[in-house]
């Protein structure tokens, strides 16, 4: 169901989030507007944390690539989760938000020298080393700084997750990680153990995103546990941390049937436990890195309806004041979304329209064939489940300023991201003297 968290339709037939009427939000903040349901976001953190912790020693770290601002980092820290960052920019945001650095994990397949240095100097919890080049570079940087760094190695287990081609990452033919089946992973482990300035504490893998098939997690976990046993056998070294990444899928569109988070927790935790018994290993501490399943459902984007174009006998296009700039997912992945008319949410659908963005591109379509009450310019279109990978993947294509983001909770709405101005758009532009 698209209504989740604190979302409901109020007595005026308006969509309400966090006890705030979305019609008022539009009056106060304009459109397009990213709205984040604080309680919904927090509840998702709690549900996942609870699902894993009841099954054993575990830590949930939020994948900040999903939705990252200083306020979001604060909430994640308050919920007691760790944080997965994947760039100097995300790390900087977390540090500025006062996120406990020892609970930050740093990912990435091509971390720069500066990024690594920044992380080590900050005292980051773990660096998840992706390749041999990084392993050597990290060791060298640690030596220069006189520091030792706890690391995980990212392993590519060779698991096909059933999801979109571009968001699969566990298969062998991937830019990420040390490949397991060809022996690279074992070589990486041996090298990491031999280095003086890094301390290998465990392994990581991430098989993909928007996954509904829990067998994929079970399978990957089982392979990783077998590898931990192999490492113990060949080197005598017992790895005490297993990070199984993120990837748990969510509801976007009718037909999507995500399992419960408990199913995900069981797929991972029970496999870890049974494999540890079978292989005579100490049960490692389990880490998971959900992003979409925390932020996705908590976000709604509000747009203003504008022009309508009818192609007789073919289709009716309804254009809104945003599009692929604030949500590139439909254009990139063919992702499907659900929308309603937020100011007339109780009215029955009477027509099928296709919701278009305002970018100068035919592919800028937010939703094809959406059943809505009859819509006119000035109506508010709410698109659900836009909390994940919308703001963080947004762009200024066509020099459209990025929307504002508000955090709603208990009747109040706080701006957590200012709307970009035209001035912001030219802030970094320079005109060489010879052009003046
Ligand atoms: N950990 C690692 C190492 C990751 O690469 C990712 C996502 C996550 C955790 C979080 O995965 P989640 O729980 O959100 O599925 N832009 C694409 C998704 C790319 C996912 C990249 N990695 C999309 O919009 O669908």
CA 157/CA 186 separation, integer angstroms? 12
Burial of 415 from C-beta contacts in 10 A (0-12 / 13-18 / 19+): middle
- Is there a catalytic annotation at residue 142? no
Say yes or no: CB of residue 208 within 6 Å of ligand 1: no
Tell me, in angstroms, the distance from the centre of ligand 1 to residue 169's CA.
9
List CB contacts of 19: < 8 A, sequence separation 6 or more: 6, 408, 409, 410, 411
Q: Is the pLDDT of residue 163 over 80?
A: no
**pLDDT value at position 146?**
98
How much is the pLDDT for 162? 63
**Which pLDDT score, from 0 to 100, does residue 164 have?**
52
* Exposed/middle/buried for residue 234 (C-beta within 10 Å: 0-12, 13-18, 19+): exposed
Query: Residue 109 contacts by C-beta under 8 Å, 6 or more apart in sequence?
Result: 130, 131, 175, 176, 177
Q: What's residue 172's pLDDT?
A: 82
Regarding the beta carbon of 107 and ligand 1, being less than 6 Å apart is answered yes
User: Which two three-digit tokens encode residue 140?
Assistant: 């060298």
The tens digit of pLDDT for each residue in 48-95 reads: 999 999 999 999 999 999 999 999 999 999 999 999 999 999 999 999
Distance CA 183, CA 203 (A): 15
Of 45, 73, 142, 360, the active-site residue reads 360
Q: Is the CB of 291 within 6 Å of ligand 1?
A: yes
> Best substitution site from 245, 286, 385 to test ligand 1's pocket, by max atoms within 8 Å of Cβ?
245
* pLDDT tens per residue, range 366-398: 999 999 999 999 999 999 999 999 999 999 999
pLDDT in tens, 256-297: 999 999 999 999 999 999 999 999 999 999 999 999 999 999
Which residues in 189-323 belong to E strands, given as ranges? 198-204, 241-243, 285-288, 299-311, 315-320
- Of the chain, the percentage scoring pLDDT greater than 70 comes to 97
167 lines ligand 1 (CB under 6 A): yes
- Specify the pLDDT at position 160: 72
CA distance 257 to 78: 30
Q: How far is the CA of 210 from the centre of ligand 1 (A)?
A: 8
For the chain, the helix, strand and coil percentages under 3-state DSSP, each to the nearest 5: 35, 25, 40
Residues 10-26 have a mean pLDDT of 98
Chain mean pLDDT for the chain = 96
pLDDT reading at 166 higher than 60: no
Find the length of the chain. 436
CA distance 434 to 67: 41
Domains of the chain: 8-30+298-425 (2.40.37.10), 38-291 (3.20.20.10)
Distance between CA atoms of residues 328 and 331, nearest Å: 5
- Tell me the C-alpha distance between 423 and 403, whole Å: 14
What's the pLDDT band for 170 if we cut at 50, 70, 90? low
CB 371 within 8 A of CB 35: no
CB of 326 shorter than 6 A to ligand 1: no
For residue range 299-356, list pLDDT tens digits in order: 999 999 999 999 999 999 999 999 999 999 999 999 999 999 999 999 999 999 999 9
């Amino acid at each position: 169901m698209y209504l989740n968290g604190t979302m409901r339709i109020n007595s005026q037939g308006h969509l309400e989030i966090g006890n705030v009427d979305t019609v008022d939000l539009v009056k106060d903040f304009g459109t397009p507007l990213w709205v984040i349901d604080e309680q919904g976001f927090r509840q998702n953190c709690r549900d996942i944390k609870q699902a894993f912790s009841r099954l054993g020693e575990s830590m949930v770290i939020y994948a900040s690539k999903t939705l990252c601002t200083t306020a979001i980092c604060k909430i994640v820290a308050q919920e007691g989760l760790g944080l997965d960052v994947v760039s100097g920019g995300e790390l900087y945001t977390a540090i500025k938000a006062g996120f406990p650095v020892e609970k930050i994990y740093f990912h990435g397949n091509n971390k720069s020298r500066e990024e690594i240095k920044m992380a080590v100097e900050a005292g980051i919890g773990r660096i998840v080393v992706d390749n041999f080049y990084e392993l050597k570079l990290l060791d060298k940087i640690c030596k220069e700084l006189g520091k030792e760094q706890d690391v995980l190695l990212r392993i590519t287990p060779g698991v096909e997750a059933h999801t979109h081609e571009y968001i699969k990452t566990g298969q062998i033919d991937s830019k990420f990680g040390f490949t397991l089946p060809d022996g690279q992973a074992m070589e990486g482990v041996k090298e990491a153990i031999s280095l003086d300035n890094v301390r290998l504490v465990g392994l990581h893998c991430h098989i993909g995103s928007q996954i509904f098939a829990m067998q994929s997690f079970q399978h990957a976990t089982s392979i990783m546990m077998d590898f931990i046993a192999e490492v113990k056998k060949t080197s005598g070294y017992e790895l005490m941390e297993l990070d199984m990444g993120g990837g748990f899928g969510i509801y976007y569109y009718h037909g999507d049937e995500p399992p419960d988070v408990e199913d995900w927790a069981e797929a991972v935790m029970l496999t870890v436990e049974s494999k540890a018994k079978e292989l005579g290993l100490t049960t490692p501490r389990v880490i998971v890195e959900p992003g979409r399943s925390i932020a996705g459902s908590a976000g709604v984007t509000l747009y203003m309806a504008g022009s309508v174009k009818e192609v007789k006998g073919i289709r009716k296009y309804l254009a809104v004041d945003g599009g692929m700039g604030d949500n590139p997912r439909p254009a990139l992945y063919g992702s499907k979304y659900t929308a309603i008319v937020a100011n007339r949410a109780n009215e029955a659908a009477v027509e099928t329209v296709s919701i278009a963005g305002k970018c100068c591109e035919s592919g800028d379509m937010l939703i094809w064939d959406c059943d809505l009450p009859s819509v006119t310019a000035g109506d508010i279109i709410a698109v659900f489940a836009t909390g994940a990978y919308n703001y963080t993947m947004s762009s200024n294509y066509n020099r459209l300023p990025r929307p504002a983001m508000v955090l709603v909770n208990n009747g109040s709405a706080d701006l957590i991201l200012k709307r970009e101005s035209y001035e912001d758009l030219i802030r970094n532009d320079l005109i060489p003297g010879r052009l003046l």
